């Protein structure tokens, strides 16, 4: 039986958004599926929410937009896996918002990038990310 990203999407529609441990922000569904599969393999994806762009990520983190009445801002994710290159709001902009707000700046953020020499990596470290992972 294969893994299907839709399985995770269906599960999060009924999940308690205040219990989220990992927020995955990834616009490429194949990359998201691979990431979730790897986390599931090590039993780390039970309380994971996947959003597809920076705008959704900020709505989730700050309990605004479609998450305004579904989440309490006091229950932040324990880890954010954040793609850099995304539509609407890019990962650097999301990181800037997270690290400039007192209520969210202590959340560990791991940057996901497809380029080893991405100039945004240096900028993300300067903004306070905790690590970066080069996607295969």
Tens of pLDDT along 8-21?
A: 443 445 466 666 78
Q: Can you give the CATH number for the domain in which 123 is found?
A: 3.40.50.2300
Residue 61 CA to its chain's centroid (Å): 9
Our count of domains for the chain comes to: 1
Find the domain containing 54 and state its range: 5-134
CA-to-CA dists, residue 95 to 8, 43, 99, 107, angstroms: 25, 26, 6, 10
Say which DSSP state 72 is in. -
Please compute, for residue 52, the number of CA atoms within 13 A of its CA located in the half-sphere on the CB side: 7
Write down the pLDDT at residue 130: 73
104-125 pLDDT, tens digit per residue, is: 999 999 988 887 766 767 777 7
Structure tokens at 60: 């989730």
């Amino acid at each position: 039986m294969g893994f299907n990203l839709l399985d995770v999407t269906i599960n999060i529609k009924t999940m308690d958004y205040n219990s989220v441990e990992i927020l995955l922000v990834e616009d490429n569904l194949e990359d998201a599926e691979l990431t979730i599969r790897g986390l599931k393999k090590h039993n780390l994806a039970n309380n994971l929410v996947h959003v597809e762009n920076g705008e959704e990520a900020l709505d989730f983190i700050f309990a605004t937009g479609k998450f305004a009445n579904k989440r309490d801002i006091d229950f932040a994710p324990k880890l954010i896996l954040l793609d850099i290159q995304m539509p609407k709001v890019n990962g650097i902009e999301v990181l800037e918002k997270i690290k400039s707000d007192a209520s969210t700046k202590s959340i560990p953020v791991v940057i996901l990038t497809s380029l080893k020499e991405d100039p945004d990596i240096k900028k993300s470290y300067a903004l306070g990310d905790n690590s970066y992972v080069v996607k295969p």
